[in-house]
Structure 1
Amino acid sequence: MGRLDGRTALVLGGGHSPGGPAGVTGIGFACATTFAAHGARVVVVDRDADAAERTVDAVHEAGGRARAVVADVTVAEDVDRAVACTVEAFGGIDVVHNNVGSARLGGIEDLTLDQWRAAVSVNLDSVFLSARATLPHLVRRRGCIVTVSSTASIRWTGYPYPGYAAAKAAVNQLTRSLAVEYAGRVRVNAVLAGLIDTPLVYRQLAGADDPADVRARRDALSPTGAMGTAYDVAHAALFLASDEAAYVTGALLPVDGGLHARAV
């Protein structure tokens, strides 16, 4: 415990939204509560006020410190306001965690241009806007950025969502580019999340299918025979945000049960 004592973490997309089987949580919620459990003051940003407050309530119930900011991270002015609120509340920023993402099923011939651009906006523009707004603050504290990318950015995962895959691949290269440009001042890493059991799966990928069937199919796609949990990603993010990763930057860390290494 205490791996982030005295630090401030800005978690973009950290709200807790219901959905899916009982006990299933989102990655943003898991990361926010894990950071708080290790001593960080957490600012939870979400466009859904109720979702953000649910995460803040969970942090408070566990004895941590947190506050909510309602913002759309694809809107520059909203991101700037969220950063300003964080600095005003806690004096600076040490950790930025980008967790906003959205996947829309459909092959390349099925997507409209607007749908393609929406995928890029949510998955890539949000990371750009976050980095642009927070890097000046992170430089002052030699802080870090941890972004949730996806195994879909480097291989086929069984789902046709080319806009999502392409945007996440761009997130990977943005991560590496910033890591080298800011080396020695700010660490920049990404977690490549694989088949993770989150509410988003049941809202965006399940359609009208029974949740038990969705879970069984996704479990079967994993080399381990089971999906990971949001806390598997959160523990990796905690490592990358902590001093234990002081010499780690530009890394794309797969958290996918070996999916990235499988040939078929």
Structure 2
Amino acid sequence: MHSDSSMEGWTPSKRLEGRVAIVIGAGQSPGEGLGNGRATALRFAREGARVLSVDRNLESAQETAEIIKKEGFEAEACAADVTREQDLEAAILQARDAWGSVDILHNNVGVSLAGGDADLMDIDEEHFDFVCRVTLRGTVFACKHAVRIMREQRSGVIVNIASAAAVGRYPYVAYKASKAGVVAFTEQLALQNAEYGIRANSILPGLIATPMAIGRRIEHWKQPREQVEAERLAKIPLRRHGSAWDVANAALYLASDESAFVTGTSLLVDGGRVLNRI
């Protein structure tokens, strides 16, 4: 198992003390570095949440849960394929049955190149549908089953990972369209569930140096890591690579009471990338 579970300057303040958080996509792809979902699961746990680590790959979900437990916090693991509604429902119910509530749902799902995404002239129906099933439909149906419980509780927070690709330049059609759908769906979710005390927001990560983002591009473009990283870095005004902790910290803000008057928003975490049109 290769992961950087440290975070420089981290000081726990227990902003999520006693809450139950489900992180869908809490495992990560093999490779160098830390994934957004795993970082968020760790961040939530360190702030006092009991975390259900959910991933298509049970072993990877279990790795995340084991890191949390070794640090002295509480976690369970669950396998779920986000293209199967019954898997998502079972995951949501597992968290409620284990800990009595569903306070936070964090959807960290999406696929682009690995799912066969392509330029408009090259995309086919099968791959377009698959990317949308994972990236948009998976988020929608996870929210469906979490919201049912949150409405009964009259409280809850949902954080959906969209992408800066939804609002900025991106060459592949299915991922951009589906992540834009996540933004629109999250706005609808916020509006229709505010009366139940439920908040919903999305995060739009930019060029984050995760194993999936870097590894897939090395594989797809047949380029060395140094070249891929340099080309990405040149597009970021802050002139540093985004890390999974940047995304996790944004998720913590939106999941905590510090954002109690924030709903229906889309938070860019991209180092200014969308401002730079190259």
* Aligned mates of 1:96, 1:60 — CA distance in 2: 20
Between 1:131-140 and 1:205-214, the stretch displaced more is 205-214
Q: Is the 8 A contact 1:94 1:141 kept in 2?
A: no
Counterpart pick for 1:128 among 140, 143, 147: 140
Unmatched tracts of structure 2, length 5 or more: 1-12
1:258 offset after TM fit, Å? 1.0
Identity in percent = 38
1:167 aligns with 2:178: yes
Contact persistence 2:236–2:276 (CA under 8 A): no
Q: Which whole-Å CA distance do the structure 2 matches of 1:201 and 1:241 have between them?
A: 24
Aligned ranges 1:64-213 → 2 under 5 Å: 64-104=73-113, 105-139=117-151, 140-157=153-170, 160-184=171-195, 185-207=197-219, 208-213=222-227
**Matched residues in 2 for 1:107 and 1:255: separation?**
25
Q: Secondary structure at the match of 1:134?
A: helix
| Cα distance in 1, alignment partners of residues 226 and 66 from structure 2 | 29
1:216-264 C-alpha deviation (Å, 9 max, x unpaired): 1111111122220000000000000000000000010000001123344
List aligned pairs for 1:17-96, cutoff 5 A: 17-20=29-32, 24-96=33-105
Distance apart, 1:62 and its partner CA: 1.1
Query: CA deviation digits over 1:10-61, x for unaligned, max 9?
Result: 00000133213xxx10000000000000000000100111100110111011
1:64 counterpart letter in structure 2: F
Structure-1 separation of matches of 2:48 and 2:154? 17
Deviations 1:166-211 (A, max 9, x none): 0000100000011111114210000000000000113322223211
Q: 2: distance between equivalents of 1:197 and 1:131?
A: 27
Question: Alpha-carbon deviations, 1:105-147, whole Å to 9, x = none?
Answer: 5211111111111111111001111111110212215111001
| In structure 2, distance between residues paired with 1:255 and 1:141 | 29
For residue 252 of structure 1, what is the amino acid of its counterpart?
S
For residue 161 of structure 2, give the secondary structure of its aligned residue in structure 1. Answer: strand
Give yes or no for the alignment of 1:235 onto 2:273: no
Corresponding letter in the other structure for 1:100: V
- Equivalent pair of 1:16/1:54 in contact (CA under 8 Å): no
Q: What amino acid maps onto 2:148 in structure 1? A: P
**8 Å Cα contact 1:94-1:143 kept in structure 2:** yes
Shift of 1:155: 1.3
Q: Could you list the runs of 5+ residues in structure 1 that have no partner in the other structure?
A: none
Q: Does the aligned pair in 2 maintain the 1:103–1:204 contact within 8 Å?
A: no
Segments of 4+ moved more than 4 angstroms: none
**Which residue type is aligned with residue 101 of structure 2?**
G
Amino acid at match of 2:18: G
Shift of 1:70: 0.6
Matched-pair contact (CA < 8 Å) for 1:36–1:42: yes
Q: How far has the Cα of 1:101 moved from its partner?
A: 0.8
**Cα distance 1:47–1:132, how it changes in 2: closer, same or farther (>3 A)?**
same
Q: Normalising by structure 2, report the TM-score.
A: 0.90
How big is the alpha-carbon RMSD for the aligned residues of Structure 1 and Structure 2? 1.2
- Matched positions, count: 259
